[in-house]
Structure 1
Amino acid sequence: MRKSLAKSIYFGAAALAFAGIVGTTSTTASAKSSAVKVTSSKALTTDATTRNVTFTGTNALYTKPGTAKGAKVVATTTTAKRLAASKNGQDNVRAYRVATTNRGSVYYKVVTFDGAYRGWIYGGKSDTKFDGGIKTFATTTDAKVPSALSTSSYYTLAKTDASVNDGTTTTYKAPAWSQYKVGPTVKDASAYKDNLLQVSQAATTREGETWVYVTDVTNGKLTGWVKASALKVSNDVPASEGVTINYTDKATGKVVKSAVIPFKADDATLAKPTMDVWTSTTAANKESQAAIPAGYSVADGNAWGSIDDARAATKGSTLVLYVTANPKAAVTIGNSLDIKSDGTTEISHFAGKALDQWNAAKDAFAKDSTVADLQGKVIDSSVLKTALKNAGFDTITADDGTAYTLNTSALPSKVTFGQNINLTYSQQ
């Protein structure tokens, strides 16, 4: 009995030991097979624009790929859905690494453009296609150039404040927050505020703002993207895109002004298009005449330096147009109107000391630089009043001691250079 029992206990113990060994081995094998390990991890090298993504909201964002040991949640699925629905470009997402696990799952490392969220998210089973928790996303959409702008016109930046970074004071390599860590073409555009820009395309950002791509035809410094609202029309034309007219004083041979008029081919189908600036009825000729500097007129005879060149001007060419200075003129002071104390009026001609004072004032007025050098321009009333007072026209005293005070309220609001004006006086 003991022997049999002993043997029974022995075998029982042996069986128990065997069972323990088998159980331990089985548990270890199961743990090894369920552990998630990263078998490969590499940086994404495709074009940056193809790596812009958004969250689908089906997966959370973690500090490590999948359920790797120590992985923590960076953004829940609720947060992922909120970011996906955002209208803010800072919530755009860039994928920049990909990892594959021993189970064949693919995880992508991503970051929001503002850097607020960074981590790993399940991306499906292929390392060449976004799936699972992310999908491809276009940060901008193509748009039509706004009707207020034209692809054939020239523009400049309306303002160039380097302290402002709102998409209007300089141009950018891409619309703001549409590409990860892509900034302005020039941080401070104040040195290029007169650069001529041409619009070629437009895009709408996640915020719903319209940006336009401009080409800097002056020196290329501002070629890039800018908000459509940042541009103002310029009447200037780059020399390379127009015809330069050098207005040359025929008497001195000096260029008194240069202007560029737009080149509009008479026949655009020709291999080398030309534009007629010589014929008086053409639009080009009228533009060249409109740009003649103030105080000058076209010289007598044929004023063009080369008739042939003026008849067939080419894009980017330079022409000479001779001008002569206009004769000097002055604002003429006419008869004075004496308003008597009883309300009656009569035309009065000063005599004696009053006439001497009047003539002295006229001489001084003619020499006043504030009006004598405004040939061909309109003189504002305030400028005229100051010049008249400085010349001595404000008060005229007759031989009998009667004082006549200039009635400045009767002066015209604007005076054209060369105009004849009457001065009105009130008797004191």
Structure 2
Amino acid sequence: MQLKLKKSIYLGLAALTFASVAGATTASATTANAASKHHAEKVTKKSHKKVTKKHAVKKHAKKAAKKAPVTFNVTKSLNQGIVYKATGSNAIYTKPNGVKGSQISVTKDNMASKANSNSADDLFMAYQQVKTSKGVHYYKVVSFDKKVRGYVYTKGIAQVNPVSAATTPSNTTGYVTTNNISNYPYGSKFGSKVQNFNGIDFSKDKFTVSEAMTVGNDTYYKVADQSNSLINGWVNANDFTNNTPKAITDAQNYANGVHVTYVNNNTYQTISNETLNPANLKNDGTYATQDIINAINNSLYGKGYANVTNDKVNDNSQNSQNLNTTTVVKKGDNLTVLVTPQTQLNYGIYGVNNKGAFNQSTTSVNTTELNPITIANTDRNNLFLGDANGNFNYTNFSNNALASGKYMNTLTSKDGKYTYKFDAAMTENNSANPALFSGNGISTIKPNVKLSDLNAQNNGKGLNLVYDITENSTGKTVNASDVNIFG
């Protein structure tokens, strides 16, 4: 029993000891785990805080740097008298490149084109230098034609001297044909402008050239008004001339001329007014009567009026007399001239076919294939103009236009291949000109043939002028129809 009790106690103690040990072990393990866990969490949390803080600082710094805008400030104002030209290496921007809102105003390619240009329009004036917050320098520029304004990197333009010496004209006295007299040549420096001379008319004044220069493609002259020294400046060489301008010539002609009023002799209605400048103005400012008559008839040339004689010209004086050899007409005088409307003579050129044969005929010649006929104005009016109801003087026409050596006796083709010789026999024939000549093969001029009757014949073609045609290379007479077909 004691033995059992001892075993029981022993086992109990052992159990207790095991349990205690186990409990102690468990407790110890639990405590250690807890401590270990606690220590790990603490370290991890501390480490996490440090990493997060450092990362946040870096991120904030980068974000702050990224958001910082590019700005620029004017560092200095530049001399506006200096001229620049594009180098072609950089574009022009509305603001320095990188500044918010900056856009390209002129591309790099366009600047390269301006670099190769000789036009003053493509030169620049730089009036400010600026520096960006990144340390980049730009010029603020404007083109000479004021169409371009903006910012360009300082190496995008270079200083130039666009002016070179030029030669003054051999005759330095002349006229300025423009009102555009500038303070200095366009392109030589920025700000060239036309000067205001308060509306003074200097178009008739003589100017003197004292200096010349070339800018780009243009030459300029420095000029001064001989009548008014206050009017001076620079003009393009194209606007200076040694020739008297038309305005001055017209004014001189008007002052030296005679003023003519043309009046219809039939209706007495005014037709037109002209200023004429007869030849041979005398030192005393007067004209000879015949010189006046010649000037009047020259002015009527081609206008459908007959030549006038001195009895058709009135001097408009107080005595109102017609001109005669003793009449004194001065420059600036007014004259009235009575003119008679005339009808133009219609005529056609015809060539002979089968000359001398029983079947000879005529063919119309295209007058555009012939060299033009040159006739003096007076003869033209006398021969080809007349009163429609007046008699046509064929004898006068023939003697002064068709006879040997006269205007229309011999005609030539423009190509030089043919000569046309007037054939009087075939022209002065009833079959060719029934209104003008009697029949039965007799070349008799009908009496009192009116110009209107002659113009109406041959279906309105008028006078039929017939020519024999010779081929120049062979000397042989050819048919007009052959020339028209094969010529």
Superposition TM-score, scaled by structure 1 size: 0.46
Which structure has the larger Rg? 2
Higher helix share: 2
Superposition TM-score, scaled by structure 2 size: 0.41
